[in-house]
Protein backbone atom coordinates (compact mmCIF):
# COMPACT_ATOMS: atom_id res chain seq x y z
CA UNK A 1 0.00 0.00 0.00
CA UNK A 2 1.38 3.40 -0.91
CA UNK A 3 1.70 6.24 1.55
CA UNK A 4 -1.14 8.08 -0.16
CA UNK A 5 -3.47 5.09 0.22
CA UNK A 6 -3.12 5.07 4.00
CA UNK A 7 -3.75 8.53 5.51
CA UNK A 8 -1.92 7.78 8.74
CA UNK A 9 0.86 5.54 10.06
CA UNK A 10 -0.52 5.10 13.55
CA UNK A 11 -3.74 5.61 15.51
CA UNK A 12 -3.52 6.59 19.15
CA UNK A 13 -6.28 6.82 21.73
CA UNK A 14 -5.86 9.54 24.36
CA UNK A 15 -8.16 9.95 27.35
CA UNK A 16 -8.74 13.14 29.34
CA UNK A 17 -9.75 12.70 32.97
CA UNK A 18 -10.16 14.96 35.99
CA UNK A 19 -12.83 16.54 38.14
CA UNK A 20 -15.81 18.34 36.65
CA UNK A 21 -15.13 21.95 35.71
CA UNK A 22 -11.34 21.78 35.40
CA UNK A 23 -11.48 22.57 31.69
CA UNK A 24 -10.99 19.24 29.93
CA UNK A 25 -13.49 20.11 27.22
CA UNK A 26 -12.02 23.55 26.67
CA UNK A 27 -8.51 22.16 26.35
CA UNK A 28 -9.75 19.68 23.77
CA UNK A 29 -11.71 22.30 21.82
CA UNK A 30 -8.71 24.61 21.82
CA UNK A 31 -6.44 21.87 20.54
CA UNK A 32 -8.78 20.22 18.03
CA UNK A 33 -10.71 23.27 16.79
CA UNK A 34 -8.61 26.23 17.98
CA UNK A 35 -11.75 27.58 19.65
CA UNK A 36 -12.71 28.64 23.15
CA UNK A 37 -16.05 29.11 24.86
CA UNK A 38 -16.30 30.72 28.31
CA UNK A 39 -19.68 29.04 28.84
CA UNK A 40 -19.67 26.13 31.24
CA UNK A 41 -21.91 23.27 30.15
CA UNK A 42 -20.94 19.98 31.66
CA UNK A 43 -19.97 17.03 29.49
CA UNK A 44 -22.60 14.28 29.54
CA UNK A 45 -20.96 10.86 29.59
CA UNK A 46 -18.15 10.91 27.06
CA UNK A 47 -17.30 12.36 23.67
CA UNK A 48 -14.26 12.46 21.43
CA UNK A 49 -12.54 14.39 18.67
CA UNK A 50 -10.12 13.39 15.94
CA UNK A 51 -6.89 15.27 15.30
CA UNK A 52 -4.40 14.30 12.62
CA UNK A 53 -0.84 15.30 13.42
CA UNK A 54 2.68 14.55 12.25
CA UNK A 55 5.24 13.79 14.94
CA UNK A 56 8.82 12.92 14.06
CA UNK A 57 7.79 12.10 10.44
CA UNK A 58 5.01 9.76 11.62
CA UNK A 59 1.47 10.64 10.56
CA UNK A 60 -0.70 10.01 13.59
CA UNK A 61 -4.46 9.95 13.95
CA UNK A 62 -5.32 10.99 17.49
CA UNK A 63 -8.63 9.95 19.01
CA UNK A 64 -9.00 12.18 22.06
CA UNK A 65 -11.73 11.13 24.46
CA UNK A 66 -13.20 13.74 26.78
CA UNK A 67 -14.80 12.27 29.89
CA UNK A 68 -17.30 13.60 32.40
CA UNK A 69 -15.83 14.36 35.80
CA UNK A 70 -18.97 13.98 37.89
CA UNK A 71 -19.32 11.03 40.20
CA UNK A 72 -22.51 9.77 38.53
CA UNK A 73 -20.63 9.25 35.27
CA UNK A 74 -17.61 7.61 36.87
CA UNK A 75 -18.63 4.11 35.82
CA UNK A 76 -18.90 5.27 32.21
CA UNK A 77 -15.50 6.89 32.44
CA UNK A 78 -13.70 3.89 33.90
CA UNK A 79 -14.90 1.66 31.07
CA UNK A 80 -12.97 3.90 28.66
CA UNK A 81 -9.69 3.40 30.51
CA UNK A 82 -9.41 0.08 28.73
CA UNK A 83 -7.58 0.55 25.49
CA UNK A 84 -6.38 4.07 26.32
CA UNK A 85 -2.75 4.47 25.29
CA UNK A 86 -2.22 7.90 26.80
CA UNK A 87 -4.03 9.72 29.61
CA UNK A 88 -4.10 13.45 30.38
CA UNK A 89 -4.81 14.09 34.07
CA UNK A 90 -6.28 17.59 34.29
CA UNK A 91 -6.77 19.82 37.31
CA UNK A 92 -7.65 23.49 37.77
CA UNK A 93 -4.84 25.57 39.30
CA UNK A 94 -7.49 27.77 40.96
CA UNK A 95 -9.28 24.79 42.53
CA UNK A 96 -7.18 22.99 45.09
CA UNK A 97 -9.71 20.21 45.52
CA UNK A 98 -9.34 19.25 41.84
CA UNK A 99 -5.57 19.00 42.37
CA UNK A 100 -6.00 16.81 45.43
CA UNK A 101 -8.29 14.55 43.39
CA UNK A 102 -5.45 13.68 41.01
CA UNK A 103 -4.23 10.93 43.35
CA UNK A 104 -7.70 9.36 43.23
CA UNK A 105 -7.72 9.55 39.44
CA UNK A 106 -4.29 7.91 39.30
CA UNK A 107 -5.65 5.16 41.53
CA UNK A 108 -8.48 4.70 39.01
CA UNK A 109 -5.90 4.41 36.22
CA UNK A 110 -3.98 1.80 38.16
CA UNK A 111 -7.18 -0.22 38.63
CA UNK A 112 -8.67 0.06 35.15
CA UNK A 113 -6.05 1.06 32.57
CA UNK A 114 -3.28 -0.84 30.85
CA UNK A 115 -0.17 -1.05 33.02
CA UNK A 116 1.99 0.57 30.33
CA UNK A 117 -0.32 3.52 29.60
CA UNK A 118 1.48 6.88 29.28
CA UNK A 119 0.33 9.69 31.53
CA UNK A 120 0.78 13.47 31.74
CA UNK A 121 -0.37 16.00 34.34
CA UNK A 122 -1.91 19.27 33.13
CA UNK A 123 -2.76 22.21 35.38
CA UNK A 124 -5.33 24.26 33.45
CA UNK A 125 -6.35 27.93 33.85
CA UNK A 126 -2.80 29.14 34.52
CA UNK A 127 -3.87 32.53 33.09
CA UNK A 128 -5.90 33.24 36.27
CA UNK A 129 -2.85 34.10 38.36
CA UNK A 130 -4.69 36.11 41.03
CA UNK A 131 -6.83 33.12 42.02
CA UNK A 132 -4.14 30.46 41.77
CA UNK A 133 -4.23 28.04 44.70
CA UNK A 134 -1.88 25.34 43.41
CA UNK A 135 1.70 26.44 42.75
CA UNK A 136 3.68 25.39 39.72
CA UNK A 137 6.17 23.72 42.08
CA UNK A 138 3.43 21.61 43.67
CA UNK A 139 2.24 20.42 40.28
CA UNK A 140 5.79 19.59 39.21
CA UNK A 141 6.45 17.68 42.45
CA UNK A 142 3.32 15.56 42.06
CA UNK A 143 4.21 14.75 38.45
CA UNK A 144 7.75 13.86 39.49
CA UNK A 145 6.41 11.59 42.23
CA UNK A 146 4.57 9.54 39.62
CA UNK A 147 7.28 9.86 36.99
CA UNK A 148 5.09 11.66 34.46
CA UNK A 149 5.30 14.84 32.40
CA UNK A 150 3.80 18.14 33.57
CA UNK A 151 2.47 21.30 31.96
CA UNK A 152 0.58 24.30 33.21
CA UNK A 153 -1.81 25.35 30.47
CA UNK A 154 -4.55 27.80 29.58
CA UNK A 155 -7.27 26.85 27.13
CA UNK A 156 -8.46 30.46 27.18
CA UNK A 157 -5.10 32.00 26.27
CA UNK A 158 -3.81 28.99 24.32
CA UNK A 159 -0.81 28.41 26.59
CA UNK A 160 0.88 24.97 26.42
CA UNK A 161 -2.24 23.32 25.03
CA UNK A 162 -0.71 21.92 21.86
CA UNK A 163 2.51 21.15 23.75
CA UNK A 164 0.60 19.02 26.27
CA UNK A 165 -1.15 16.92 23.64
CA UNK A 166 1.92 16.53 21.45
CA UNK A 167 4.04 15.55 24.45
CA UNK A 168 1.75 12.69 25.48
CA UNK A 169 1.20 11.63 21.85
CA UNK A 170 4.95 11.50 21.25
CA UNK A 171 5.47 9.43 24.41
CA UNK A 172 2.83 6.93 23.26
CA UNK A 173 4.27 6.82 19.74
CA UNK A 174 7.76 6.13 21.03
CA UNK A 175 6.50 3.38 23.33
CA UNK A 176 4.46 1.70 20.61
CA UNK A 177 7.36 1.77 18.16
CA UNK A 178 9.69 0.38 20.82
CA UNK A 179 7.17 -2.38 21.56
CA UNK A 180 6.81 -3.14 17.86
CA UNK A 181 3.23 -1.93 17.72
CA UNK A 182 3.75 1.20 15.69
CA UNK A 183 1.37 0.24 12.92
CA UNK A 184 -1.21 -1.35 15.16
CA UNK A 185 -4.66 0.08 15.79
CA UNK A 186 -5.21 -2.23 18.74
CA UNK A 187 -6.94 -0.55 21.64
CA UNK A 188 -8.64 2.18 19.62
CA UNK A 189 -12.33 2.85 19.26
CA UNK A 190 -14.42 3.76 16.25
CA UNK A 191 -17.09 6.43 16.42
CA UNK A 192 -19.70 3.69 16.12
CA UNK A 193 -18.47 2.13 19.35
CA UNK A 194 -20.36 4.63 21.45
CA UNK A 195 -23.63 6.46 21.15
CA UNK A 196 -23.48 10.15 20.37
CA UNK A 197 -23.48 12.05 23.64
CA UNK A 198 -24.44 15.60 24.49
CA UNK A 199 -21.49 17.94 24.62
CA UNK A 200 -20.62 21.24 26.15
CA UNK A 201 -17.81 23.58 27.00
CA UNK A 202 -16.03 24.65 30.11
CA UNK A 203 -13.33 27.18 30.77
User: Domain holding 104: CATH number?
Assistant: 3.40.50.300
Evaluate whether residue 78 is within a structural domain.
yes
Evaluate whether residue 5 is within a structural domain.
no
Evaluate whether residue 102 is within a structural domain.
yes
The pLDDT-based confidence of 187 (bands split at 50, 70, 90) is very low
**Cβ-based neighbour number of residue 180 at 10 Å:** 8
- Does 194 score more than 90 pLDDT? no
Evaluate whether residue 47 is within a structural domain.
yes
**DSSP type of residue 6:** S
Evaluate whether residue 61 is within a structural domain.
yes
- Do residues 88 and 147 make contact, with C-beta atoms less than 8 angstroms apart? no
* 3-state SS class at 29: helix
Determine the number of helices (DSSP H) and then strands (DSSP E) in the chain.
6, 6
- Does 185 score more than 60 pLDDT? no
**For residue 87, what pLDDT is reported?**
96
The domain containing residue 168 runs over which residues? 10-193
**For residue 181, what pLDDT is reported?**
53
Summarize the confidence of residues 95-111 as an average pLDDT: 94
**For residue 126, what pLDDT is reported?**
97
Write out pLDDT tens, residues 69-80: 555 545 556 677
- Does 135 score more than 50 pLDDT? yes
- Does 179 score more than 70 pLDDT? yes
- Does 35 score more than 50 pLDDT? yes
Evaluate whether residue 200 is within a structural domain.
no
- Do residues 89 and 121 make contact, with C-beta atoms less than 8 angstroms apart? yes
Domains in the chain: how many in total?
A: 1
Evaluate whether residue 199 is within a structural domain.
no
Rounded distance, CA 166 to CA 41, Å? 26
- Does 41 score more than 70 pLDDT? no
Amino acid sequence: MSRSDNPYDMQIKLLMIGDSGVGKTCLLLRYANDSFSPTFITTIGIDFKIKNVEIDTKRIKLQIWDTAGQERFRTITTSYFRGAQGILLVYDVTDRRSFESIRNWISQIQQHADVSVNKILVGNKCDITEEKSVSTEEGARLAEEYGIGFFEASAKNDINVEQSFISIARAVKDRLIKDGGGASNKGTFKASDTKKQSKGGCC
